[in-house]
Amino acid sequence: MGYAKTALLIFIGLVISLDVSARAELDLSDIQLPPGFSIEIWSDEVPNARSLALGENGTVFVATRRDGRVYALIPHADASPSVITLAENLIMPNGVAFHEGDLYVAENHRITRYPDIEAALPDVPEAEVIIDTLPTERHHGWRYIDFGPDGKLYIAIGAPCNICDREGFANISRMNADGTEQEIVAAGIRNSLGFTWHPETGDLWFTDNGRDLLGDEVPPGELNHAPRLGMHFGFPYCHGGDIQDPEFGDQGDCADFEPPAQKLGPHVAPLGMLFYDGTMFPLEYKGQAFIAEHGSWNRSQKSGYRVTLVRMERGRAVGYEVFAEGWLQNEEVSGRPVDLLVIGDGSLLLSDDQNGVIYRISYTRPMDEGVALLSGISNPEP
């Protein structure tokens, strides 16, 4: 065996060893949540866990990016979920979406569909290619997908660069479920890896990752709101609503583009987002926006590595606060949140691609709160 091959095998063995060690030593005691909330490991059998999707029967579908696999997790009431590998050797299969019984998987260059997936499990139906003409550039080439209220399949096409102006990129597009009639919905979006629709208005909301190499404090991450088609959110000309780009800023005025609905922390890498629609959390969380912040990669002092909450009132963002943190301690990173999913009991799943785990965040009413509630019921105010 040659030196190069021996070195490669040693390196692979070291990576596997570090991954297993990291999961074995994963300590959640540093994770801080609001009173009444708790976090646990729901599954630690999904290496590089990224995007999440929920089937009609409660199956949780998990995509990856570096691992090249897609998984189905079958929940059990009294045990960890069963894990089924649906596909492997794929090209950055970051996006998953469930629609009318079928599972859709977005790779770098194509989208495939697994028909009637839950009825077939544990067998895996043959994948059908619905579109294979997506851009093949790898930079920001991992896709995020979901189905909108209109029944269309939406997909984010990230810019193939840190900063550039390339036709056909930096947008969110949509198409029919069979891959036909693709059209751009919103433009000027550097790299979105999380979007959803407001439960009351039906408007599209999405996260966006700001450009690099402008300094530690700029630009901010963004939560954006697209209530109509054809809106432009500034990239590559303007960032955060008011920061002219030093390279492309002379080609567009910030006043001509849509500002963020909520500015997020600089370089926090906001990824998955959702509006909470479960029944487990207190009423104050109903309809509020949760965001998974994956964390900075080249900031001199790290930022992100947490779950944040954007407070909503009457369909507008009115505040930005930390919901769960502790994966960053003294510049040491113990986890990287990616995507969020509300499951049937109202608890919140959170994927972590660094540790290859999915957490479950749940809420139990504190004893004193329960006593106060019962007291209020038995002694109502006049």
* Separation of alpha carbons 134 and 107, rounded Å: 9
Does 358 fall in a domain?
yes
pLDDT for residue 25? 60
Does 83 fall in a domain?
yes
* Separation of alpha carbons 161 and 211, rounded Å: 9
pLDDT for residue 368? 58
Does 97 fall in a domain?
yes
Does 193 fall in a domain?
yes
Q: What is the pLDDT along the chain (382 residues), one digit of tens a residue?
A: 443 433 333 333 433 333 443 444 688 999 999 999 999 999 999 999 999 999 999 999 999 999 999 999 999 988 899 999 999 999 999 999 999 999 999 999 999 999 999 999 999 999 999 999 999 999 999 999 999 999 999 999 999 999 999 999 999 999 999 999 999 999 999 999 999 999 999 999 999 999 999 999 999 999 999 999 999 999 999 999 999 999 999 999 999 999 999 999 999 999 999 999 999 999 999 999 999 999 999 999 999 999 999 999 999 999 999 999 999 999 999 999 999 999 999 999 999 999 999 999 999 987 655 544 444 543 333 3
**pTM for this prediction:** 0.90
pLDDT for residue 3? 36
Does 15 fall in a domain?
no
Q: Say if residue 167 is exposed, middle or buried (CB neighbours under 10 Å; 0-12, 13-18, 19+).
A: exposed
Does 1 fall in a domain?
no
Radius of gyration of the chain (CA): 21
Full residue range of the structural domain in which residue 229 is found:
29-378
Per residue, the 3-state secondary structure of the chain, as one string, reads CCHHHHHHHHHHHHHHHHHHHHHHCCCCCCCECCCCEEEEEEECCCCCCCCEEECCCCCEEEECCCCCCEEEEEEECCEEEEEEEEECCCCCCCEEEEECCEEEEECCCCEEEECCHHHHCCCCCCCEEEECCCCCCCCCCCCCEEECCCCCEEEEECCCCCCCCCCCCCEEEEECCCCCCCEEEEECCCCCCCEEECCCCCCEEEEECCCCCCCCCCCEEEEEEECCCCEECCCCCEECCCEECCCCHHHCCHHHCCCCCEEEEECCCEEEEEECCCCCCCHHHCCCEEEEECCCCCCCCCCCCEEEEEEEECCEEEEEEEEEECCEECCEECCCEEEEEECCCCCEEEEECCCCEEEEEEECCCHHHHHHHHHHHHCCCC
Does 16 fall in a domain?
no
From residue 262, alpha-carbon distances to 258, 296, 320, 331, 362 in Å are: 11, 18, 8, 26, 26
What total number of domains does the chain contain?
Answer: 1
* CATH label of the domain that carries residue 70: 2.120.10.30
Does 11 fall in a domain?
no
